[in-house]
């Protein structure tokens, strides 16, 4: 987006500034687990959260393909370099890019057509931590995935610290939908996740029951172990 000329530019810049301020989103990330979680956000970086601690992430309007997740059993040195058992982000405390499966995801795209945010909880990268993803400033759907999935995980999907999605394990179109829209559907494994977390994506084309909207400008909270 670009604007030209002096006075019109200043007026436009002011309008854009007001619009941006009104529609930027704040995400309050809180750890209610009994253990430490290393929160991660793309965009946003990362933060160690001991039990009861919170972290605020501000996300610019128009941001797409964004996500927040938790990492477990991490060990970082003084330079912020190390590894996590689940959700690892290129070996960095300050995340750049996405995390390694398994990780429970809060996903969002802000200020999309019709002045809407698109939000979801996704188990397409598996599950590691129970999560709530909900609005704080508008009345739209509260999303939760709090079932004991790690404990009940099918043997084929079990991994240290979490439960893999079958796409991660098998890598075939049946589970990954790599051949495009309509090329895959629910499976026994996806139903395992969907039965326990009806709000969450259980496979990549699970949009009709898993993708929700809020008015643009909504603020949100992400809670680990709600």
pLDDT reported for residue 23? 59
pTM score, whole prediction: 0.88
pLDDT in tens, 75-85: 999 999 999 99
pLDDT in tens, 181-208: 999 999 999 999 999 999 999 999 999 9
- 17 falls in which pLDDT band (50, 70, 90)? very low
pLDDT in tens, 164-186: 999 999 999 999 999 999 999 99
pLDDT > 50? residue 3: no
| Beta partners for residue 131, in sequence order | 145, 224
**Contact yes or no for 103/62 (Cβ under 8 A):** no
pLDDT > 70? residue 25: yes
Angle at 90 between CA 120 and CA 99, to 5 degrees: 15
pLDDT reported for residue 203? 96
């Amino acid at each position: 987006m670009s604007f030209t000329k002096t006075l019109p530019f200043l007026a436009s810049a002011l309008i854009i500034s007001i619009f941006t301020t009104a529609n930027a989103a704040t995400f309050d990330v809180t750890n209610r687990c009994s253990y430490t979680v290393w929160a991660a956000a793309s965009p946003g970086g990362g933060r160690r959260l001991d039990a009861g601690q919170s972290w605020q992430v501000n996300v610019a309007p128009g941001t797409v393909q964004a996500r927040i997740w938790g990492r477990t059993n991490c060990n970082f040195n003084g330079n912020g370099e190390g590894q996590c058992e689940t959700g690892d982000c290129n070996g960095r405390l300050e995340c750049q890019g996405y995390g390694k499966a398994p990780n429970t995801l809060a996903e969002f795209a802000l200020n999309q057509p019709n002045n809407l945010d698109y939000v979801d909880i996704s188990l397409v990268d598996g599950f590691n931590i129970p999560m709530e993803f909900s609005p704080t400033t508008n009345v739209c759907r509260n999303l939760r995935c709090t079932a004991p999935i790690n404990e009940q995980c099918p043997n084929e999907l079990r991994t240290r610290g979490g439960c893999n999605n079958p796409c991660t394990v098998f890598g075939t179109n049946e589970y990954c939908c790599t051949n495009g829209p309509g090329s895959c559907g629910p499976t026994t494994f996806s139903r395992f996740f969907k039965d326990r977390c009806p709000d969450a994506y259980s496979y990549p084309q699970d949009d009709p029951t898993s993708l929700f909207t809020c008015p643009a400008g909504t603020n949100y909270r992400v809670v680990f172990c709600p």
